[in-house]
Amino acid sequence: MLPSYASPVERVWFYLFRGFNILVLVFLVSPLLAIIPLSFSADSFLVYPIKELSLRWYEEFFTSGEWTRALMNSFIVAPAATLIATALGTLAAVGLTSSEFPGKSLIMSILISPMVVPVVIVGVGAYLFMAPLGLTNNYFGLILVHAALGVPFVVITVSATLKGFNVNLMKASANLGAGPLTTFRRVVMPLIAPGVISGALFAFATSFDEVVVTLFLAGPEQVTLPRQMFSGIKENISPAIAAAATVLILFSIALLLTLEWLRGRAERIRTLQR
């Protein structure tokens, strides 16, 4: 905070700096706020000013075949991809942190690479590879590739949690007569659960927000919410997009709150361990 003895220059600088940062924060949230009112517009084009209020676009979003199918698909593909990514990613993270072995950092780099490889390359590669196998226009192929894209997040978050993990706890459990499975289930799992869940949330969000791979792999039956929005923005810009956007913003608020709550819980567990 600004001390009372600050010089005028310091004072001006302080307010300028604060003003600048507030503007940046406004820049960050303004688009989210700008689109919400449009979802209540009765007009069929996505423009201000709103002449008449209406809930017709919410009705369209929740009743039209296209949007409900997209919503349903998103809730099929994302959870399935999340489950695969979380299961495989957690196992791998446990393996990677439990022991040193040659080539470990290379393996780690490869496991994380789906996060950095341009997604168009993943999409085209998967498309040309899977089309002859009959895995395009099909839920299965889409879920597999979405899972691959979500894996790095699980590996990173679970590894991070495991690093703060006290190995003595496992030894203590073993000393007290628990088998490795019981130890994993009753000691390790509760401790790394926040990491696993936040990794899973990242994986979920990745799949839930993914559009490029979906563009290539999904047929009309597999159109997901972002894919539907993509053609909406490109083709028929109607306020139904705004309604979908509003619903998605509410959903991301829920995700964010869950994650923050988990983070708080993880902090508390970590302090308990010490």
Pair 82, 204: CB distance under 8 Å: yes
Please identify, using beta-carbon distances, which residue of 76 and 269 lies nearer to another protein.
76
Size of the site for another protein (CB under 8 A): 124
Q: Which position among 57, 159, 173, 207 is part of the footprint of another protein (CB under 8 A)?
A: 159
Q: Which position among 94, 174, 193, 269 is part of the footprint of another protein (CB under 8 A)?
A: 94
Identify residue 194 by its one-letter amino acid code.
P
By CB under 8 A, tell whether 166 contacts another protein. Answer: no
By CB under 8 A, tell whether 132 contacts another protein. Answer: yes
Residues 118-140 as b or e (16 or more Cβ within 10 Å = b): ebeebbeebbeebeeeebbebbe
Site for another protein in 54-83 (CB under 8 A): 76, 79-81, 83
Angle, alpha carbons 171-189-176 (nearest 5°): 30
Q: What span, in angstroms and rounded, lies between the C-alpha atoms of 169 and 184? A: 11
By CB under 8 A, tell whether 187 contacts another protein. Answer: no
Q: What span, in angstroms and rounded, lies between the C-alpha atoms of 242 and 38? A: 6
Please identify, using beta-carbon distances, which residue of 8 and 118 lies nearer to another protein.
118
**Interaction mask 198-237, another protein, x per CB under 8 A:** ----x--x--xx-xx--xx--xxx-x-xx--xxxxxxxxx
| Residues forming a β-bridge with 53 | 41
Site for another protein in 12-31 (CB under 8 A): 17-18, 20-21, 24-25, 27-31
Please identify, using beta-carbon distances, which residue of 127 and 169 lies nearer to another protein.
127
By CB under 8 A, tell whether 271 contacts another protein. Answer: no
Q: What span, in angstroms and rounded, lies between the C-alpha atoms of 86 and 96? A: 15
Supply the minimum distance, in Å, between the C-beta of residue 69 and another protein: 9
Looking at residue 46, the DSSP 8-state letter turns out to be S
Looking at residue 5, the DSSP 8-state letter turns out to be T
